Amino acid sequence: MPSQTLLGLTESQFLLCGEGERQVLLKPFGDVGQRLCDATNLVIRGEGYATQDEAAREGERWRDVISRAFARVHLAADFGDRQPVGTLTKAGEAWLAERVGHPVLGHLPGVTVFEDQPGLRFVAAPSIESCKRPSEERNRLVLMQAAQLHDPLEGPERLAFDLYSGSFFQPSADSRLLMLTMAIETLLDLQPRSDAAQAHVTAMIEATEANADLTRSERESLRGSLKWLRNESIGQAGRRLARTLGPRTYSGKAPAAFFTRCYEMRSALTHGYVPRPNRHEVAGLAASLEFFVGDLLAGRLLTEIPD
């Protein structure tokens, strides 16, 4: 849970369900005795199920119960499905269990089903954060050249840089990719389509306005949507902008093709595609998209300072 929104429960665990041998508890992860109102890492622990399949189904159900409840009191939780994870191998679990004298399981995000054992311990891999720092020589060179060129940012470029920078503070690859594609959209200048295409759109608008079978609100809605078709699409404008980065490549693709793939991924994330896009592919695209957007914003520095 984010540190700025925590549960308002002072007990160290909360009984969600107790039916005979079955019980479901909400409790802090790892820190025994910690109050729920102080915990940023929680676990829903259910026990008393006869089969693995039954436990898995109930695990997913109780995850949904918590999600609904949190939404109602305006709390947030990251179940870790889209985060990079590392866990122990079976050999690693056995090696560690032998040394600590307890059964050991590697902690995984989402719903985990396991056979209950006395003294069972979960082990979470430590979080690792990397840091990118250009060489001192390159930093000096770029800053001095930028000072000489003194190219001001246009209004859309300032907004794009804010979005680009904000993406570095996002915890998930999904949110980074979305913010970076938003940054590109602010840089787009949609150009008019050909005269023939605009004439065709005008004819469709006129046909819509003349259609008596449509309600007034339907005509207005369709007319508003059709007017957008007089200009090129975001995809067309994005590919045109991307071509200014040639002959560079991103994730092994030409700039225009790379932009298309990123925008397809953006649509998949924002329009609720099921199943959700593979998080490893999203992470790879987001990493390359950082370079892509940075290169768009570099202006003349991109050619003045070689890669």
Please tell me which residue, 136 or 48, carries the higher pLDDT value.
Answer: 48
**What average pLDDT does the chain have?**
89
Instruction: Categorize the per-residue pLDDT at 130 as very low, low, confident or very high, splitting at 50, 70 and 90.
Output: low
Please tell me which residue, 135 or 38, carries the higher pLDDT value.
Answer: 38
Q: What integer pLDDT is reported at residue 129 of this predicted model?
A: 65
Instruction: Report the run of H or E that residue 19 belongs to, with start and end.
Output: strand 14-19
> How many whole angstroms separate alpha carbon 117 and alpha carbon 104?
10
**Sheet bearing 14-19, strands edge to edge:** 14-19, 22-28, 42-47
| Cβ-proximal residues to 114 (8 Å cutoff; 6+ apart), any chain | 105, 120
Q: Reduce the DSSP state of residue 106 to 3 states and report it.
A: strand
Q: Euclidean distance between the first and final Cα of the chain, in Å?
A: 40
Cα-Cα-Cα-Cα dihedral sign, residues 18, 22, 26, 32: positive
Q: What integer pLDDT is reported at residue 128 of this predicted model?
A: 60
pLDDT over 90 (residue 117): no
Q: Which whole number is the average pLDDT over 31-59?
A: 90
> How many whole angstroms separate alpha carbon 266 and alpha carbon 170?
16
Instruction: Report the run of H or E that residue 44 belongs to, with start and end.
Output: strand 42-47
Q: What integer pLDDT is reported at residue 258 of this predicted model?
A: 98
Rg, Å, the chain Cα set: 26
> How many whole angstroms separate alpha carbon 222 and alpha carbon 215?
11
Q: What integer pLDDT is reported at residue 269 of this predicted model?
A: 94
Q: pLDDT digit string (tens) for 153-191?
A: 888 999 999 999 999 888 889 999 999 999 999 999 999
Please tell me which residue, 129 or 227, carries the higher pLDDT value.
Answer: 227
Q: How many C-beta neighbours within 10 Å does residue 92 have?
A: 13
| Cβ-proximal residues to 103 (8 Å cutoff; 6+ apart), any chain | 97, 117, 118, 119, 120, 121
Q: pLDDT digit string (tens) for 254-267?
A: 999 999 999 999 99
pTM beyond 0.85: the answer is no
Instruction: Categorize the per-residue pLDDT at 25 as very low, low, confident or very high, splitting at 50, 70 and 90.
Output: very high
Q: pLDDT digit string (tens) for 193-208?
A: 999 999 999 999 999 9
